[in-house]
Amino acid sequence: MNKISFLFACILLIAISSSSAFGQNRQSLIPQPVERKDLPGTFSFTSKTKVIIPSENPEIRETAEIFAGQLASLTGNKLLITSDKAKRSIELRLNNADNSRLGKEGYSIRVSTLNVIISANSPAGLFYGAQTFLQLVPPVKNSSVTIPCTEITDYPRFGWRGLMLDVSRHFFTKDEVKRFIDQMVKYKYNVFHWHLTDDNGWRVEIKAYPKLTSVGAWSVARTGRYGSVYFIPEESGELATYGGFYTQNVIREIVEYAAARFVTIVPEVDVPAHSRAAIAAYPEISCSGKPTTVSAGTSNGIGENVFCVGNEDNFKMLDVIFGELASLFPGEYIHIGGDEANREFWKGCPKCRQRMKEENLKNLPELQSYFTQRVSKILQSKGKKLIGWDEILEGGLAPDATVMSWRGMEGAIAAAKAGHHSVMTPTQFCYLDYLQGEKNIERVSFGYLRAKRVYEFEPVPEGVEAGYILGGQGNVWTEFIPNYRRVEYMTWPRALILAEVLWSPKGKRNWDEFVSRMEDHFLRFDQAEVNYSTSIYDPEIAMVKTEKGEFRITFTPEIKGLDIYYTFDCTFPDKFSAKYNGKPIQTPRGSSEIWAISYRSGKPIGRLLVITFEELKARM
């Protein structure tokens, strides 16, 4: 055998070994199923294996086609879809009689040595079963694929399992939105909350009000850290060229694409606040009526950004806007935002004061409640329900409103007491735009949310009946996320974790065991070229003060099995440097910073951390 042939043989052997090893890992499913029983033997399939759908169930053909496409992308094997029986096959089968245990979205899988049967009460259940089957397949392209025999019974804990993508701060293309949906459905998410409007851009075409997009979808271009260069004012003659919007035809296409994957899109048009883009297009909707521009980075309180509640024409405008939205999005809900309204603009507005007098409103929160209830009636007239951030509770809640609790758990608790449903998305567990690793490595974002913290999330607050909690979602706000690769990086793997929290039984959680499964899915991300964070491997550092007033440094690794090496002399640490032994480290005289890196099994795995003592003291 010559050297080239020998090298090829070695590579092939490694690939087959890796595939086999992954296939034998029986615990790499995310979310964790309700029940799984391992069976003896394996099932093998090639491009000659067929996907069978019964002739009496033509409604599942689209699901079968999506599944076959996913399988081809994963393995390279294009399987034929047929209604004819085959000796070796993967069959999608609707139950003749509903299995009450599975419900609408549950499924069962039986993998035997000869075939695979995925059964469910509905096409949605078959789709989720197919996603689980895909996770049994090793992420290595191979003409022959082998997976372990098994039986799985599974169904979700919550009906609302969502991810939100903010496309106002930065616009993302049709194909990027589809890619986001493709990735979320692999982990059984079923709600895509689409944040379409804000101060920074209006992204949905409204035919009756064309300037919402011709003006409101564009700002001057700025590149850099949010909160600094984004607030540089427009220069004279500078053109607004940054942004974009979705035509109604594109929206229909994306809605149809999502629906085929059993994802409901909940559109958000944020009112009465976060509306500077709309005001830039139509200044008369504000209290002052003064012209303004779409800002590259406005935040609450910077510039007038609220609808005038005293202007009756505004409700006529909103009736038209929500009417067009209702025709585009067939889902049950439309999100109206309702958060962070700067009510000072209303306080000095003659029209708003007159509205308060006419409606006998005692304060500004009641004025906002009046606005919300008017919008709720508009949505009811379009056959839709209102959902909004938990500020809509202030001043009184619209009768049929659903609350999205983001400022902790309090919104859900208050809503439940008032007999209203909630979707749980508290910042301390669900804001995926927050830093996920050591601050001096990740550097740019608002808050801080480690992966392990997400896994501690319990969506049902203590003292609240579970029936009031529809489910939960992760939010990807994009102030600090200027491109799609960064969207992926901030979303994954924390959205993996949230997927398990929202789907799997509460009693099955074990962080250390989950980490081993999560690392298997890093291989899947690599194969699919999905950008993801490896911050779980980075050293996390803190400074503590002893009783004697001395400062010490500690490390708190997020996962087990990491070795942390450090230096105080501004040289790059490696496995020959000082090793952290779990006890607080005394800072040597003359040093002003520490450099640290994590290793596993003798090899570097985390990113280099460099931080000064002054920075650490400031954190205290």
Running DSSP on this structure, what letter comes out for residue 246?
A: B
Paired with 164 in beta bridges are: 193, 475
Measured distance CA(197)–CA(256) in Å, rounded: 21
Q: Which helix (H) or strand (E) holds 260?
A: helix 248-260
Token duo for residue 64: 């079968």
- In the block, residue with structure tokens 């962080």: 511
Task: Of 425, 497, 400, give the one whose Cα is nearest residue 31.
Answer: 497
Measured distance CA(170)–CA(481) in Å, rounded: 8
DSSP notation for 393-448: GTT---TT-EEEE-SSSHHHHHHHHTT--EEE--HHHHBTTSB-S-HHHH--SSSB
Annotated active-site residue in 166, 198, 304, 558: 198
Residue 18, burial from CB neighbour count under 10 angstroms (0-12, 13-18, 19+): middle
Annotated active-site residue in 170, 274, 420, 521: 274
Task: Of 151, 197, 170, give the one whose Cα is nearest residue 33.
Answer: 151
Residue 352 · residue 331 · CB < 8 Å: no
Q: What share of the chain is helix, strand, coil (3-state, %, to 5)?
A: 35, 20, 45
Paired with 113 in beta bridges are: none
Measured distance CA(479)–CA(427) in Å, rounded: 15
Measured distance CA(436)–CA(26) in Å, rounded: 28
Q: Mind spelling out the 3-state secondary structure of 316-355?
A: HHHHHHHHHHHHHCCCCEEEEECCCCCCHHHHCCHHHHHH
Count Cα atoms within 13 angstroms, Cβ side, for 81. Answer: 18
Measured distance CA(309)–CA(330) in Å, rounded: 28
DSSP notation for 483-551: SHHHHHHHHTTHHHHHHHHHHS-GGG--HHHHHHHHHHHHHHHHHHT-----GGGS--EEEEE-TTS-E
Measured distance CA(393)–CA(334) in Å, rounded: 17
Helices 61-75 & 123-136 angle (0-180, nearest 10): 10
Measured distance CA(503)–CA(132) in Å, rounded: 13
344 in catalytic set: no
Q: Which helix (H) or strand (E) holds 131?
A: helix 123-136
198 in catalytic set: yes
Annotated active-site residue in 234, 253, 319, 340: 340
Look at strands 541-545 and 551-555 and give their pairing. Answer: antiparallel
CB count within 10 Å of CB 427 equals 15
274 in catalytic set: yes
> What are the catalytic residues?
198, 274, 340
